Every structure is written in C-alpha cells, then in structure tokens.
Chains A and B, each alone.
Chain A
Amino acid sequence: MKRFISIAMITLLFVGCSKTTVVLLDSGKTQNAVLVSTDKGSSKLDKVGSFVDLKDKEKAPSETKIMSKDEIEKRFSKALAVSPDKAKTFILYFRQGSTELTQESETVLEDALKAIVKSPSSMVDVIGHTDTVGSNEGNLKVSLKRAKHIESIIKNRGIKPLSLTAKGYGEEDLLVKTADNTAEAKNRNVEIFIK
C-alpha cells in the first residue's frame, strides 16, 4: 500500500513539472501571434490566453490550451506590474514643399514637448519619414533633414530628455502602406517617438 502511494505521488509531481510556459497576451492589436518551436515541432498561438507547455528541446510543444485572464494576472502579476508604459508617438506634417509645420501640427508639437518634459528619464527619437516617390537614398536624406529641423526646435527650447536623436527612415516605415512611387501626403511626416 505504501509503495502504491509513493508511485502515485511521483507521477503527480512529474506531470506537474512542465518547465516552460508561453502564453499569448492581449496586445490590443489584431495582428498578434507567436510561433513556439522546439527541435521536434512548432505551435502557433493566435488567440489571447492560448498557451503551450514545453518540457524538452527533443519534444514538441504540448497541445494548445487556454489560460483565464485571472490566472494570467495571478501568475505573471510581478512582471506585469513593472511593464513600461507604451512609447508615445506624435506625428507632425509640413506645409507642402516647406519645412514649416501645418497649423494643426504646431499644436501637436506643443503636446509632444509637454510629454517630453513630463517624462525626463526617456529616450526621444525624432524620426523623419517620406512617401515612396523618388530614390531610397534621396528619401533617407530628405527624411533626416526634416528630423534634424524638428530636433533643433526641441533643443532650442532647452528640453533635455535622457537622449535626443534625429533619425531618417526614408520610406522604410510608412504610416500608410503604399506601392513604390506613390505620392501620399500622410507619409511625409516627422514622428516624435518618446520611450
């Protein structure tokens, strides 16, 4: 009898000792999925709360199950509590063919400056973007030039975040996805990215 009990306990312990658990959380975005892979197979998690357990490199992930919101919050409470705030994005547009901001963007710039002052231990990127008309190289230059212009405005106001960097992304990170050689006013902008 004693023997039987100890075997049962060992079995329970063994079943309960999955090593790694991966669970998909709600990102607020529609495109949200992870692919969990070992040497022996992969599992795609694409529903919020879906999870897999992994025991070994040499074993495929467990079947996908669903973890309740309560359990996620309980199990990951400490890590969730120190999750940094999302980076803030402010987008500025220029009057056509000029480095002057539109009236609306003047207001957005003031909002961005206030946000930077409020979060002094932040890294701030000023990122220039273009549409897809013209060459890659040309667009990189134009976008950096616009970004530097806005960076100088921030510097002149004496606002000092942890770091302030002007970058030009050219046509690599489009706000509105378009084909190549497409004029799109919304893609010609400078983004103030506060993180």
Chain B
Amino acid sequence: MKKIVILLFMMNSLVLANIAIVKKMTGKVELKRNNKMVSLQIGSGLENGDIIMSKAKSSIGIIFDDGTRLSLGEKAIFVINKFKVKPSKKEYDVDLNLKKGKAVFESGKVGKLAPKSVKFRIPEGIIGIRGTKFAVEVK
C-alpha cells in the first residue's frame, strides 16, 4: 500500500512540472490555483491553469520554459490556460489570456519553432505572434 502511495505522489509531481518561474517582482502579487490564493515570490514556479493577479503598485516578471518572457504592471489579471512547448515531441500549444492591466510579452524558442501555435487572448480577440515583442493594455 505504501508503495502505491509513493508512486502516485511521484507521478503527480511529474505532471505538475513548472512551466515558468517568477524572476522579478515588486509589491504583492497573488496566484489563484485550484481555487486557493497563494502569494508569489521570486523563484516561485507556475503551472498550467494558474491565474496571476497583481495588486496596486505591484508588478511581476516571469520567464517560461522556452525563454518566453512576460511582465505585468499593477492590477493585472493574467491566465496561463496552457503552455506546452516540447520540441522533442514537436508539440506546441500556448494559450495565454490577459484579462486586465498592462503586459509586455517577448516570445522565446516557440517564436522561432512554432509561432502560429501561440494564442495571446485579450477581451476583444486574439494576438497572434510572428517572433515577437509587444506591449498590451486592457482597460
């Protein structure tokens, strides 16, 4: 019985591998994961499904597994619906959503290997990338 428990735990940690980490931060930025709020710090890992929320006078910069960089200004809400960049399996699927606030985005390896697999959603539509750095504000 013990063995099974350990095996399950290991599988779980493999599935939930970090897809991005926090590199820079000011003020207070929280993460909503599985309906629980967690405070973020430099070095915190991020996962698929995470919702990042920056408070007033706060900001955050994260780097994804492929070198894609994203930073948010204050009072932003940003959702990582999916970040999958696996060149060894030729699997690419990136789905991000800025619901509110200001963001700066610069694509990493995915911008070179599979730019069309990136969807950056905003309330009015979608930003598609072609190897890119851009800024966006959602009011």
Which A residues have a C-beta under 8 Å from some C-beta of B? 17-27, 29, 31-39, 45-46, 54-57, 59, 61, 72, 75-76, 78-87, 121, 123, 125, 140, 144, 162-163, 167-170, 172-173, 193, 195
Contacts and interface: CB of A to CB of B under 8 A. Distances in A.
Give the interface residue-count category, chain B: 35 or more
B88 A34 contact: no
B128 A34 contact: yes
Interface of B: 18, 21, 23-26, 42-43, 59-63, 65, 67, 69, 71-74, 87-88, 90, 102-104, 106, 108-109, 112-113, 122-139
A85 B23 contact: yes
20 contacts: A17-B139, A19-B138, A22-B122, A24-B132, A31-B130, A35-B128, A35-B129, A37-B126, A39-B125, A54-B122, A76-B73, A76-B102, A76-B104, A81-B59, A83-B71, A83-B106, A86-B69, A123-B63, A167-B87, A172-B90
A62 to B, nearest CB: 11
Contact of B135 (A18, A76, A125, A173): A76
A20 B104 contact: no
Contacts of A59: 124
B63 A84 contact: yes
Contacts of B69: 83-84, 86
A35 B127 CA distance: 6
B88 A22 contact: no
Contacts of B103: 79
A59 B124 CA distance: 8
Contacts of A76: 73, 102, 104, 135, 137
Given A33-B131, A169-B87, A79 B124 contact: no
Nearest to B106: A27
A172 B24 contact: no
A19 B133 CA distance: 20
Contacts of B43: 121, 162
A167 B112 CA distance: 18
Nearest to A127: B87
A45 B135 CA distance: 12
B133 A38 contact: no
A144 B69 CA distance: 26
